[in-house]
Structures are given as structure tokens and as C-alpha cells.
Amino acid sequence: MDSTKLLYDGKAKQIYATDKENEIIMHYKDDATAGNGAKHDQFAGKGILNHTISGIIFDMLAEAGVKTHLIKKLNDRDDLVRKAEIFPLEVIVRNITTGSFCKRTGCREGLVLETPIFEISYKNDEYGDPLINEYHALAMGLCTLEEYAEIKEETLKINEMLKEFFLRLNLKLVDFKIEFGKTENGEIVLADEISPDSCRLWDVDTNQKYDKDVFRQDIGDLIETYKAVLARMENK
């Protein structure tokens, strides 16, 4: 397998070509960024931790019937995945208020929402991934109405599965971001990763943060935090 051709070098991952047109390799780097790249650091082993955590979650979701891009794990940092055209949307669900939602609305932190909030942002670093709604997405040609409906339905299902999964680890799923892509045969699949980089997780008893906020806010050791999440997953 020719895995040497770098197709894309992202903030936390790289994408490599393979000798098959419809399969690519997703490689997890040790980089951590926050504030749209304003804060950047490297943590030895972070890529391995996120790859392991995300792999467990993707396997759990696939078993529950979610279509994902994952074909198989190749080693401790690389996945073989189906090539998919990624919708330029950050799909976000909030169960408890914090982060940009509180900054934007003035809502207090930590409010447990009666129903989840479904949000989409336009993936565009130059403009700081602005919050948009379905009218913007359709008018800008980012997805079709049918695609939007499928993404929303699948995301809310994933939220329920993830909430339950993390609760068994004594962690509250505060919010998360996921991404979807469209494969060559038109199938919409869950892509990218689900890890403490892309989810906010708070301990049920103490509200201690077990996610990238420890790096964003300089309030803890990122590697120890991610290791603790993985340990809960492995011990459950």
C-alpha cells in the first residue's frame, strides 16, 4: 500500500492517499490547537490517545447502526477510512451550556438543557467557523435539504448514544462537534474523530473537566486527562 502521499495536513490530523481511489489513511498527530489555531502546542502521545478513544467510540456507534467512514485501524495512530467529501459544517450538539454558547448568549454556564441544542457552523478558519442555520447552509450550497435532515437526525441519535456511553463512565456529555462526509456512492457517513478534543466531558460528581478545555483554559495536564478518560473506557 502506498501511504506516502500526503493529501492534507490539518491541525491535529493528516490524510494520506492509498493505492485505492476510495480509501485514505487518517493519521493522528500530537498537536493541540485552540482558539482557531491562536494557541498551539504538542503533547507526546496525544495522537495515540485520541486515536484509541475515537476508535472505541466509532466501533460502538457502528455496532449501533451508525454509518461511519472507518474501515479498520492500521496501527496506534492510523486508520484506513472511506474517502468522503466532508460537508463544510461543524455539527454541534449541546446538552449543558458552556463555551461559545454562553459567550454568545450570556446564558449562565452549566445549565442542563431541557432538550439538546443542535447547531451548525460553517467550517471556515478565516472567518472563525461562524454559526449558521439551515437556511444559510442550503443557500450557500453546503448541503441539500435531504442531506441536512439526515445529518440532523443522525446527530441527535448519536447524542443519545454518546450521552449513555459516557454516563456509564461517570462522565456528563456537555457538548460535542462531529463531521459528516459523502462517499463516492452518495452515502452520508460519520467522519473525522470523536475524542476529548471534540467533546466536553465533566465528571458527574465533581464537574471536573476531562477534555481539551484543560488545555484551552490552562487548568490541567492534557495527557493525564485524556489517559483518565481512556482508563474509564477500558475499565467499564
Residue 52 CB, shortest distance to ligand 5GP, in Å, is 16
- The grid coordinates listed for 109 are 454556564
* 164 Cβ contact list (under 8 Å, min separation 6): none
Cβ nearer to ligand 5GP, comparing 189 with 194: 194
Q: Which amino acid is at 116?
A: P
* Nearer to ligand 5GP among residue 22 and residue 207 (C-beta): 207
Q: Closer CB to ligand 5GP, residue 89 or residue 92?
A: 92
- Which residue is nearest to ligand 5GP, using beta carbons? 99
Q: Which is nearer to ligand 5GP, 17 or 228 (CB)?
A: 228
Nearer to ligand 5GP, 2 or 125 (CB): 125
Beta strands 39-42; 78-82: pairing state: unpaired
Measured from the CB of residue 67, what is the shortest distance to ligand 5GP in angstroms? 21
Q: How far is the CB of 174 from ligand 5GP (least distance, A)?
A: 7
Is 62 within 8 Å of 165 (Cβ atoms)?
A: no
Chain positions contacting ligand 5GP, by CB under 6 A: 90, 92, 99-101, 129, 175-177, 197-200, 212
Dihedral angle of Cα 57, 60, 62, 65, to the nearest 10 degrees:
-130
Least distance CB 185 / ligand 5GP (angstroms):
27
For 229, counting Cβ atoms within 10 Å of its Cβ (0-12 exposed, 13-18 middle, 19+ buried), the class is buried
Q: How far is the CB of 37 from ligand 5GP (least distance, A)?
A: 9
The amino acid sitting at 11 is K
CA-CA distance, 206 to 86, in Å (whole number)?
Answer: 37
**At residue 148, what are phi and psi to the nearest 5 degrees?**
-60, -45
- Nearer to ligand 5GP among residue 78 and residue 90 (C-beta): 90
Question: Which residue matches cell numbers 456511553?
Answer: 165
CB of 115: closest distance to ligand 5GP in angstroms?
Answer: 17
